[in-house]
């Protein structure tokens, strides 16, 4: 059985949680490989409605081991709250594994995220304020504290003391904020260590033995490709790579062992936080999409910015990720729209371009060139077969596939597992 990476193809919130929850049925392992509790994966299944931030969306199956991979930054407080929430709803979480190589989000990370955002004023990124940027900065700067450090309390205390000496200088001298107390932080994290110890393991061996047994392993992404620090709308980006390349780095599965890369696209575009969204609709149509689709952030509750499907960004995303196939989610949102637009190119002044510019100032000048397609004005939520979808809905999905330059494997027409239509086989 193969290894399949599941990647957010736009600006996040494409519905990866539903796809992972669905595909996990046949898998033995789901590995989250990037981000932290900035992510919000909504899963609706026979056990209820769940909003997951850190725990992989395969946790609902008794046969699936769920790994928080080395590429994730873990806020232990959020993780414990999530474990308690799941236990309260009767979900068995004993098959959770946290990589000892994953980094910890510390109290100074969340504090610095907030202080940095405030200091940016009108140029704020609109982060989730979960400490993600500062935690990945520390990882790269070799100042991070890893999940594995929780297993040795003496060295944990020493590490907190050393790092805090540096952080307190920044807090006091740059931001005029009060310093943080080492003993208090150690006591808090020692408490987390006691709770999380049973889950902390070397995940690399575990994943490779599942692969050796020929079991299906899913690599679950977070955020979306257009928030990538290299290929997204930098600096309006997140701080770990949501791309398929990082599915390898963030899990320890070598690139040549990943058999399929599935790009998850919504039938339209959304974005939370600041930064370019070329097809954004600041009008009644944008409000209508937001209302019909209930586009409000899972993690922060913020209203999401909405716009038509962006074929230029979609093609770029398919290219940098190497998608072998795509899933189009939320097709049903358009059930009552008389006509739909898709962006097929950008116009800057007199010039038409078909590439996704790297510079923010160029992106801000881009005007979408639209193609209009007829709507289907019929309820698709009960459809289960591709050929039973209205012709206009099939044409819409087919057009998106042409623009992305990769086949569509699945189309989703509602939040439930069963509300999924196979367009072409994944394998
Ligand atoms: P950060 O990841 O909290 O640093 O936020 C950086 C940017 O990424 C902000 O615009 C966030 O709104 C956005 N972002 C982070 N996580 C998600 C997500 O899971 N879905 C959508 N946007 C996200």
Task: Look at residue 42 in the predicted model and tell me its pLDDT.
Answer: 87
Any atom of ligand 1 within 6 Å of the Cβ of 223? yes
Q: Give the DSSP H/E element, type plus range, for residue 342.
A: strand 339-348
What class does CATH assign to 265-422? Answer: alpha beta
| More confident: 41 or 332 | 332
Site to probe by mutation for ligand 1, drawn from 273, 303, 306 as the one with most ligand atoms within 8 Å of Cβ, is 273
Distance CA 378, CA 95 (A): 42
The percentage of the chain sitting over the pLDDT mark of 70, rounded to a whole number, equals: 100
Averaged pLDDT of the chain: 96
Q: What is the pLDDT of residues 345-366, one digit of tens each?
A: 999 999 999 999 999 999 999 9
pTM of the full structure:
0.97
Q: Per the structure block, which two tokens stand in for 290?
A: 């937001």
Residue with tokens 């796809």: 19
Any atom of ligand 1 within 6 Å of the Cβ of 128? yes
Any atom of ligand 1 within 6 Å of the Cβ of 54? no
Ligand 1: centre distance to CA 56 (Å): 18
Q: What is the pLDDT of residues 282-311, one digit of tens each?
A: 999 999 999 999 999 877 888 999 999 999
Any atom of ligand 1 within 6 Å of the Cβ of 16? no
Any atom of ligand 1 within 6 Å of the Cβ of 130? yes
What class does CATH assign to 103-196? Answer: mainly alpha
pLDDT surpassing 70 at residue 179: yes
Domain boundaries, the chain: 3-100+200-260, 103-196, 265-422
Task: Look at residue 259 in the predicted model and tell me its pLDDT.
Answer: 97
Selection from 355, 388, 403, 195 nearest residue 411 by Cα = 388
Catalytic one of 21, 37, 41, 149: 41
CATH among 3.40.1380.20, 2.60.40.10, 1.10.1530.10, 3.40.440.10 for 3-100+200-260 = 3.40.440.10
Any atom of ligand 1 within 6 Å of the Cβ of 240? no
Ligand 1: centre distance to CA 116 (Å): 15
DSSP string spanning 216-233? -EEEE--S-GGG-TTTSS
Q: Are 218 and 20 in contact (CB under 8 A)?
A: yes
Task: Give 208's contacts (C-beta < 8 A, 6+ positions apart).
Answer: 252, 253
Q: Is 103 in the active site?
A: no
| pLDDT band of 96, cuts 50, 70, 90 | very high
Any atom of ligand 1 within 6 Å of the Cβ of 232? no
Task: Look at residue 209 in the predicted model and tell me its pLDDT.
Answer: 96
pLDDT surpassing 80 at residue 95: yes
CA 179, distance to chain mean position in Å, is: 33
Protein residue whose Cα sits closest to atom 2 of ligand 1: 238
Q: Are 340 and 308 in contact (CB under 8 A)?
A: yes
Protein residue whose Cα sits closest to atom 8 of ligand 1: 238
pLDDT surpassing 90 at residue 423: yes
Ligand 1: centre distance to CA 128 (Å): 6
DSSP summary character for residue 406? S
| pLDDT band of 189, cuts 50, 70, 90 | very high
Phi, psi of 393 (to 5 degrees): -70, -40
Residue 372, Cβ density class (10 Å: 0-12 exposed, 13-18 middle, ≥19 buried): exposed
Distance CA 154, CA 168 (A): 21
Task: Look at residue 1 in the predicted model and tell me its pLDDT.
Answer: 64
Q: Is 53 in the active site?
A: no
Task: Look at residue 40 in the predicted model and tell me its pLDDT.
Answer: 86
Protein residue whose Cα sits closest to atom 11 of ligand 1: 127
Q: What is the mean pLDDT of residues 256-264?
A: 98
Any atom of ligand 1 within 6 Å of the Cβ of 40? yes
Protein residue whose Cα sits closest to atom 21 of ligand 1: 12
Residue with tokens 């591709």: 386
Output the CA–CA distances (angstroms, integers) from residue 352 to 54, 226, 362, in the order listed: 41, 21, 13
Site to probe by mutation for ligand 1, drawn from 11, 16, 36, 38 as the one with most ligand atoms within 8 Å of Cβ, is 38
């Amino acid at each position: 059985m193969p290894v399949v990476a599941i990647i957010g193809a736009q600006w996040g919130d494409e519905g990866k949680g539903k796809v992972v929850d669905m595909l996990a049925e046949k898998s033995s392992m789901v590995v989250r490989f990037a981000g932290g509790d900035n992510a919000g994966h909504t899963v609706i299944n026979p056990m209820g409605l769940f909003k997951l931030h850190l725990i992989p969306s395969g946790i609902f199956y008794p046969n699936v081991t769920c790994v928080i991979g080395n590429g994730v930054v873990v806020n232990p407080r959020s993780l414990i709250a999530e474990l308690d929430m799941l236990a309260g709803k009767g979900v068995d979480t004993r098959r959770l594994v946290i990589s000892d190589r994953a980094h910890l989000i510390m109290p100074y990370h969340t504090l610095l995220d907030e202080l940095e955002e405030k200091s940016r004023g009108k140029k704020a990124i609109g982060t989730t304020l979960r400490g993600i940027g500062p935690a990945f900065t520390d990882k790269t700067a070799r100042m991070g504290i890893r999940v594995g450090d929780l297993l040795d309390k003496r060295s944990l205390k020493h590490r907190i003391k050393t790092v805090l000496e540096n952080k307190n200088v920044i807090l006091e001298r740059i931001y005029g904020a009060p310093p943080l107390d080492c003993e208090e932080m150690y006591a808090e994290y020692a408490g987390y260590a006691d709770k999380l110890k049973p889950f902390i393991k070397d995940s690399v061996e575990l994943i490779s033995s599942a692969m050796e047994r020929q079991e299906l392993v899913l690599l679950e992404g977070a955020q979306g490709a257009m928030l990538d620090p290299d290929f997204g709308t930098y600096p309006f980006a997140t701080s770990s790579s949501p791309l398929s390349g990082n599915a390898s780095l963030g899990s320890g599965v070598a690139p040549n062992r990943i058999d399929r890369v599935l790009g998850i696209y919504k039938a339209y575009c959304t974005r939370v936080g600041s930064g370019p969204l070329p097809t954004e609709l600041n009008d009644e149509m944008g409000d209508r999409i937001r209302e019909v689709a209930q586009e409000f952030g899972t993690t922060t509750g913020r209203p999401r910015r909405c716009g038509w499907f962006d074929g230029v960004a979609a093609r770029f995303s398919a290219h940098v990720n190497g998608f072998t196939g795509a899933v189009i989610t939320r097709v049903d949102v358009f059930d009552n729209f008389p006509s739909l637009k898709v962006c097929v190119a950008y116009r800057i002044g007199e010039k038409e371009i078909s590439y996704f510019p790297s510079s923010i100032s160029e992106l801000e000048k881009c005007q979408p060139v639209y193609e209009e397609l007829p709507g289907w004005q019929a309820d698709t939520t009960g459809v289960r077969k591709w050929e039973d979808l209205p012709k206009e809905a099939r044409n819409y999905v087919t057009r998106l596939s042409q623009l992305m330059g990769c086949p569509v494997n699945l189309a989703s027409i509602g939040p439930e597992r069963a509300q999924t239509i196979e367009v072409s086989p994944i394998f």
